[in-house]
Amino acid sequence: MQCPFSKAHKIAKDRYFHHIKVCDKRPELQPSYTFQIPFTTPDAHPKQTLTLEAAYLIEGKIFKIISIFSQELEMFNQPLAQLNLEVDVPFHESVKHAPQLKSLAGHILDSIPVTDLVIEGGAGTGMLSAYLAFKDKHINTETKRRFILMERERGFKHKFDRYVKFCGESVERVLCDLRAVDFQKLRSHYSAQNVTVIGKHLCGHATDCVLKWEADHYAIALCCHAKADGGDLLGVEFLRDMTPGELYQLCRMTSWQFAWKGQESLDLQQIEKQRLGTFFRQVLDCCRIKWLKMHKYWVKLVRYCSEVDSPECWLILAGKE
C-alpha cells in the first residue's frame, strides 16, 4: 500500500495503521506556544579564512577588558567533579553516554529542583529526561511532572519517551526550532509555577536562545560544535569595541579548540590555534555567565565529566535568586 505522507514508502496491508502513526514524514501539529520558522537561515557573513593574525587582533582587544572576566575565568580552573548516579534503569546503557548522563543528572538533582515543568532542549532520544525520571521514580509520588522534549530533527530511533511515561510522568515530544518557542505562552499554557530547562550539548545558538527565556532554573551542558556566529550572543555588551565581523570570527575560531582532537602530534601553529580556541570559548561562556548574573541568577560551572568521555565537559547550572 502507498503511504499517504511519502511516495517513497510502500507498506504491507497489515502494517498500514501502525506505519501512519510512526511515519517520519507525517506532518505534526504545532503546539499553540510555537510557530513555524525556517530551519535554516542565510549566512549573513561571507565565507572567510580564519588566520592567526586576525585571532591575535581579537585577543588583544579582549586583553584590554580581561579584568571584567576575572571571576568567571577562575571558574574554569576547578577539578573534575564527575558523579556516578545510582539509578536502576530497564534499558541498555551506552558505555559512551551513560557516564556523562549519570553525572549530569546527579548534578542537576543536587543543585536545582526538578519539579512541575521540565523542558529538555535539543532532546534527541530524551535519555537525560529518562535518567531524571527514574531517579525520582520512588520519591516523586504526589505531584506529576510534565517533561517536554523539544527537538528540531525527526526520525530518532530508540527514543526514551516511553521510559519517562513508565515512571508515571507526563511527556510530550515537540518538533520545533527552539527559536520558535514563545516561552511565556508555554508557561501560561501549562500553568507552570516552576520551569526547569535542561540540555546536553546544545550548540551556541540554542544555548543563548533558551537562556533568553529567563526560566526559573537551567542545567545546560555546553557544546563543542562552535555553531554560533555572534548574532544572538548573550553578554555581547561586555565585548566592547568589537565589530560584528570580529564577533563572527571569534565564534568561528572557537572550533580550533577541538579541531585536532585525537591527532598524535601537532605543529606549532596548530598548538597556538588550539590555545586561542580554548581561550575564546571560555570568553564566550564568561559572557553568558555574566549575563545570567546581571539578570539575578546564581550560577555554577561544573566540570561534570572527563575530556575522555566528552571533549566538552562543562555544565552551567543557574537559578533565580
Say whether pLDDT at 138 is over 60.
no
User: Residue 17: exposed, middle, or buried by beta-carbon count in 10 A (0-12, 13-18, 19+)?
Assistant: exposed
Residue 67 in domain: yes
The span from the CA of 261 to the CA of 224, in Å, is 11
Report the pLDDT averaged over residues 295-307: 96
The span from the CA of 56 to the CA of 6, in Å, is 52
Report the pLDDT averaged over residues 106-113: 94
Residue 71's pLDDT is 96
Residue 145 in domain: yes
Residue 231 or residue 134, greater confidence: 134
Residue 129 in domain: yes
The span from the CA of 51 to the CA of 61, in Å, is 16
Residue 42's pLDDT is 47
Q: Is the pTM of this model over 0.85?
A: yes
With cut-offs at 50, 70 and 90, classify the pLDDT of residue 311: confident
> What is the SS3 assignment for 106?
helix
* DSSP code for 305: S
Cell of 79: 577539578
Report the pLDDT averaged over residues 234-246: 90
Residue 43's pLDDT is 55
With cut-offs at 50, 70 and 90, classify the pLDDT of residue 290: very high
Give the Cβ contact number of residue 277 at 10 Å. 22
With cut-offs at 50, 70 and 90, classify the pLDDT of residue 224: low
With cut-offs at 50, 70 and 90, classify the pLDDT of residue 142: low
Query: Residue type at 263?
Result: Q
Residue 44's pLDDT is 58
For residue 292, give the nearest of 36, 75, 51 by alpha carbon.
Answer: 75
Query: Residue type at 51?
Result: T
Residue 71 in domain: yes
Report the pLDDT averaged over residues 211-219: 96
User: Residue 56: exposed, middle, or buried by beta-carbon count in 10 A (0-12, 13-18, 19+)?
Assistant: exposed
Residue 15's pLDDT is 86
- Four-CA torsion 277, 283, 288, 293, nearest 10 degrees: 160
Per residue in 166-186, pLDDT (tens digit) is 988 999 999 888 989 999 999
Residue 2 in domain: no
**Residue labelled with grid coordinates 551542558:** 221
Residue 1 in domain: no
Q: Return the ∠ at Cα 188 (arms to 120 and 41), rounded to 5°.
A: 55
Average the pLDDT over each of 1-10, 135-144, 192-201, 256-265 and give the range with the smallest value: 135-144
Residue 94's pLDDT is 85
Q: Return the ∠ at Cα 51 (arms to 50 and 54), rounded to 5°.
A: 100
Residue 186's pLDDT is 95
Q: Please give the residue range of the domain that contains residue 251.
A: 13-29+51-320
Residue 177 in domain: yes
Cell of 114: 526538578
Residue 292's pLDDT is 97
The span from the CA of 213 to the CA of 64, in Å, is 31
Residue 308's pLDDT is 85
Q: Over pLDDT 70: what percentage of the chain?
A: 92
Per residue in 1-55, pLDDT (tens digit) is 888 778 888 889 888 888 877 787 776 677 888 887 655 544 556 667 899 999 9
What domain count does the chain have? 1
CATH of the domain at 196: 3.40.50.150
**Residue labelled with grid coordinates 555574566:** 290
Residue 236 in domain: yes
The span from the CA of 118 to the CA of 131, in Å, is 13
Residue 46's pLDDT is 62
For residue 251, give the nearest of 279, 225, 229, 276 by alpha carbon.
Answer: 229
Residue 240's pLDDT is 84
